[in-house]
């Protein structure tokens, strides 16, 4: 069974640009979660999508947004990039809403570097 | 508000000796607690979880953790370290069993294993 796949693996952008990160969950999983792992700040919850809707959001500005497509894959968009957005962005999926963290499968992440 | 503190940023042990990674938590409710491991360039893998059942939780690869409410601790242990255990370990707390997506991660403990 294929795991959670994220693309691209690495992304380099200039300050002020927009970045788009993609995540494909495990087949059959309907929930997708996004986390940011920034140096010195640790892992922080960004967004949760389930059945195409945003269900919960962490303490991040509105320029962090995303969506979930009918096939349950997801996209994270970061607008007006700032240097401090440089981080590893991790995506996780779970079989259904409310399954809990014991059911999360994480991808290997997208390393975003803002220069 | 929930929080989690990993008391050591770096732990170094010799192969074959015990491992102890310390974690203290703060939660307003009955918490769900987890340990995840992250190997270099890999996603997060769930080691074990506590969700108000037995206080001694056994996980994969010989790891276990004991939930101590009086001490608000959830330390991770392993009787005998293996070279392959070298990785970063994260203690995680969440209310609602993580079903709202907003897991709270500790800053991580990097485990080094010397031959």
Q: What is the pLDDT of residues B20-44, one digit of tens each?
A: 999 999 877 778 889 999 998 778 8
The DSSP 8-state label assigned to residue A72 in this structure reads: S
* Minimal-distance CA residue of chain B relative to A39: B107
Sheet holding A64-68, edge to edge: A5-7, A19-24, A74-78, A64-68
pLDDT at residue A100, as a whole number: 61
Chain A residue numbers touching B92 (CB-CB < 8 A): 101
pLDDT tens, N- to C-terminus, chain A (115 residues) = 679 999 999 999 999 999 999 999 999 888 999 999 998 888 899 999 988 999 989 999 999 999 999 999 999 999 999 999 999 999 999 886 656 666 688 999 999 999 9
Strand partners, B110: B10, B88
Q: Mean pLDDT, to the nearest integer, of B84-100?
A: 82
Chain B residue numbers touching A33 (CB-CB < 8 A): 101
| More confident call, A42 vs B83 | B83
Task: Select from A10, A31, A43, A48 the residue whose CB has the most chain B CBs within 10 Å, as the one to mutate to test that interface.
Answer: A43
A47 Cβ partners below 8 Å, 6+ apart?
A33, A34, A54, A56, A57, A58, A60, A64, A65, A66, A76, B101
Question: How close A15 comes to chain B (CA, Å)?
Answer: 25
In this predicted model, what pLDDT tens digit does every residue of B35-76 receive, in sequence order?
A: 999 998 778 899 998 877 788 999 999 999 999 989 999 999
B21 Cβ partners below 8 Å, 6+ apart?
B6, B8, B11, B35, B75, B76, B77, B89, B91, B109, B111
Q: Judge: A56–B101 Cβ closer than 8 Å, yes or no.
A: yes
Share above pLDDT 70 across residues of chain B, in percent, rounded to a whole number = 94
Q: Judge: A107–B107 Cβ closer than 8 Å, yes or no.
A: no
Rounded to whole angstroms, the Cα distance separating A92 from A17 reads 25
Q: Token pair for residue B14? A: 């010799």
pLDDT at residue A46, as a whole number: 94
Q: Which position has the token pair 């409710």?
A: B29
Answer for the pair A48, A104: CB distance below 8 angstroms, yes or no. no
Q: Judge: B99–A44 Cβ closer than 8 Å, yes or no.
A: no
């Amino acid at each position: 069974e294929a795991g959670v796949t994220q693309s691209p693996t690495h992304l380099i952008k200039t300050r002020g640009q927009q970045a788009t990160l993609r995540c494909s969950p495990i087949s059959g999983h309907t929930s997708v979660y996004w986390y940011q792992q920034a140096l010195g700040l640790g892992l922080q919850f960004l967004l949760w999508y389930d059945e195409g809707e945003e269900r919960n959001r962490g303490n991040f500005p509105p320029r962090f947004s995303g969506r979930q497509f009918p096939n349950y894959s997801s996209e994270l968009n970061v607008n007006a990039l700032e240097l401090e957005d440089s981080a590893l962005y991790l995506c996780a999926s779970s079989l259904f809403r409310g399954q809990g963290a014991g059911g999360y499968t994480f991808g290997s992440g997208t390393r975003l570097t803002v220069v | 508000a929930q929080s989690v503190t990993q008391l050591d940023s770096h732990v170094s042990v010799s192969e074959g000796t015990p491992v102890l990674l310390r974690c203290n938590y703060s939660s307003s409710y009955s918490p769900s607690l987890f340990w995840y491991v992250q190997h270099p360039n890999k996603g997060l893998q769930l080691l074990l979880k506590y969700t108000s059942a037995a206080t001694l939780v056994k996980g994969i690869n010989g790891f276990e953790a004991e939930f101590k409410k009086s001490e608000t601790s959830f330390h991770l242990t392993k009787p005998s370290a293996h070279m392959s255990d070298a990785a970063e370990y994260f203690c995680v707390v969440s209310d609602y069993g993580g079903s709202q997506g907003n897991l709270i991660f500790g800053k991580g403990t990097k485990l080094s294993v010397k031959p």
